[in-house]
Amino acid sequence: MRSAGLFHRVVWLCVAILATAMPHALSSDPPATPPLRLSKAGVVMLPHTTIDDDGREAMITGLSGITWLGDDRYAAIMDNSDRVLLFSLPIAPDGIPGEPADLELITLSEKHDYEDIAPCPEALEKRIAGKRIRQGFVDPGRCALVCEEDTPAIRAISLIDGSLLGVIPTPKIFATRRPNRGFESIDVEPDGRHIWSANEEALPADGPAASASAGTVVRLTRIAIPEQTPQVTPQQPIQLAYAVDPPHEFVRVFSGEPLSGVSALMGLGDGTLLVLERSGCPGLPPFENRIYLVDPRSATDVTDVEKDLAMQPDRFMKKTLLWKEQLGCNVEGLCLGPSTTPQSRLLLGIADNGGIGTPNQIVTFLLEEPANESSLVPFVIGGCAIAMAVLGLLLYRLTR
């Protein structure tokens, strides 16, 4: 009788599991896509100095943006300077970084408060080269796009000789930015015709900057790259309202006001974006970073909103937290790296030492697609069927 009772309990358990699994297995509607998984993999230090293009030792400081150039080659921009750092970085499939090598400093032809860097689209690079050659200059070679806060502007630069090659038109409203709170981020969409950028903290007309008890509202903006002979009309520029979290809790050590803003954006190629938030406080812990996933396709365009954007929460983008940590360093830039598996890519963050003697650091992450639970349903059903058959045979043998 105990065997029969056991059999009945197992049967009812399997029936319950099947009742849960079968609707998903038979449904024609695809399951909701869960958020990506983001996990920190490792940290590596960059040196404090290297040799510049004049053969002299130069400081590496204020690394505020990073981008992947292909293979194991990367570029990082220094803020409040005229320098770009090129380097190689081997990274294992599990995301653990090796030692940086082949460091090279490029001196730009103008000094600005550069904040982020992204690869120049191939089509734009070719147009720039053609125009420069027609003007009697040499081919500028590999190019990049950088954003800077002081003008503010988005500029094309040469990674060969450091020449500034032109300016991408940006919405006029961003010229009203708060000092040192303008264009902090830049990324290029895979179509090569659009740029994403954002102001770090709220424009004065939109609302207050972050305070110890409140966040701030910024504008994520998609900007079309001008084309000489466009075959495909770029989408119109849009602006989206994004609410940044308040600064993290801290124990005050010295005077000053906390900050919290958007320091990097990263497109994932499927229409979604990663948003890196950074808060800094005059105490301990000094920094916190947060990475959110957002979908601009489901957001409301606020281009026509001229003021008081922070007072319209119904227009704010929805965001999903993927990662948050207080690393003790100022992670300010973000870029995608190569794929490690068909479901996993490398993500790199770079820390700005702020000229205060803390290490220049690169933090590596693994960005992974979680397993699709619906793919497990056939195994659950099959497993229950096998379990019922085995227990039926066992019961038959025990009761004979």
Q: How confident is the model at residue 377 (pLDDT cuts 50, 70, 90)?
A: very low
Give yes or no for a cis peptide into 282 (omega within 30° of 0).
Answer: no
Q: Which two tokens stand for residue 74?
A: 């990367």
**Which strands make up the sheet holding 153-158, listed edge to edge?**
114-119, 143-148, 153-158, 164-168
* pLDDT tens, position by position, 151-177: 999 999 999 999 999 999 999 999 999
Cβ contacts of residue 103 below 8 Å, gap of 6+?
46, 47, 50, 51, 60, 85, 86, 87
What's the CA gap between 114 and 108, in Å, rounded?
11
* pLDDT tens, position by position, 268-316: 988 999 999 999 999 999 999 999 999 999 999 999 999 999 999 999 9
Report CA 278 to chain centroid distance, whole Å. Answer: 12
Least confident of 37-46, 51-60, 235-244, 384-393: 384-393
What pLDDT score does 230 carry?
Answer: 55
Categorise residue 255: left if φ over 0, alpha if ψ from -120 to 50, beta otherwise.
beta
Classify domain 38-369 at the CATH topology level: Tachylectin-2; Chain A (2.115.10)
What's the CA gap between 155 and 58, in Å, rounded?
24
Q: How confident is the model at residue 21 (pLDDT cuts 50, 70, 90)?
A: very low
Top pLDDT among 13 and 34 is at 34
What pLDDT score does 33 carry?
Answer: 54
Top pLDDT among 53 and 373 is at 53
Top pLDDT among 314 and 23 is at 314
Q: How confident is the model at residue 17 (pLDDT cuts 50, 70, 90)?
A: very low
* pLDDT tens, position by position, 86-136: 999 999 999 999 999 999 999 999 999 999 999 999 999 999 999 999 999
| Burial label, 388 (beta-carbon count in 10 A; 0-12, 13-18, 19+) | middle
Q: Does the pLDDT at position 238 exceed 90?
A: yes
Q: Which two tokens stand for residue 281?
A: 């406080």
Residue burial 148-186, b: 16+ Cβ < 10 Å; e: rest = bbebbbbbbbbbeebbbbbebebeebbeebbeebbbbbb
Instruction: Report in angstroms the alpha-carbon separations of 196 from 170, 225, 311, 391.
Output: 11, 11, 24, 59
Q: Does the pLDDT at position 211 exceed 50?
A: yes
**What is the phi/psi pair of residue 355, to 5°?**
70, 20
Q: Does the pLDDT at position 390 exceed 60?
A: no
What pLDDT score does 284 carry?
Answer: 92
Top pLDDT among 186 and 21 is at 186
What pLDDT score does 391 carry?
Answer: 43
Cβ–Cβ under 8 Å, residues 220 and 202: no
Cβ neighbours, 10 Å, residue 384: 19
Q: Does the pLDDT at position 2 exceed 60?
A: no
For the chain, the domains span 2-26+376-399, 38-369
Q: Which two tokens stand for residue 255?
A: 């005077």
What's the CA gap between 81 and 115, in Å, rounded?
10
Mean pLDDT of 213-231: 86
Q: Which two tokens stand for residue 126?
A: 């070719």
Report CA 367 to chain centroid distance, whole Å. Answer: 10
Cβ contacts of residue 342 below 8 Å, gap of 6+?
none
What's the CA gap between 42 and 96, in Å, rounded?
5
Please name every residue paired with 266 in a beta bridge, in sequence order, or none if there are none. 274
What pLDDT score does 24 carry?
Answer: 42
Q: Does the pLDDT at position 397 exceed 80?
A: no
Cβ–Cβ under 8 Å, residues 267 and 193: no
Average pLDDT, the chain: 85
Mean pLDDT of 306-332: 94
Q: Which two tokens stand for residue 192?
A: 């090569």
Alpha helices by DSSP H, listed for the chain, are 2-26, 122-134, 377-399
What pLDDT score does 314 carry?
Answer: 97
Q: How confident is the model at residue 378 (pLDDT cuts 50, 70, 90)?
A: very low
* pLDDT tens, position by position, 46-97: 999 999 888 899 999 999 999 999 999 999 999 999 999 999 999 999 999 9
Helix (H, G, I), strand (E, B) or coil at 25: helix
Residue burial 20-43, b: 16+ Cβ < 10 Å; e: rest = ebeeeeeeeeeeeeeebbbeebbb
What pLDDT score does 229 carry?
Answer: 57
What pLDDT score does 193 carry?
Answer: 87
Q: How confident is the model at residue 379 (pLDDT cuts 50, 70, 90)?
A: very low
What pLDDT score does 151 carry?
Answer: 93
Residue burial 96-127, b: 16+ Cβ < 10 Å; e: rest = ebeebeeebbbebeeebbbbbbbbbbeebbeb
Cβ neighbours, 10 Å, residue 394: 13
% of residues, the chain, pLDDT over 70: 81
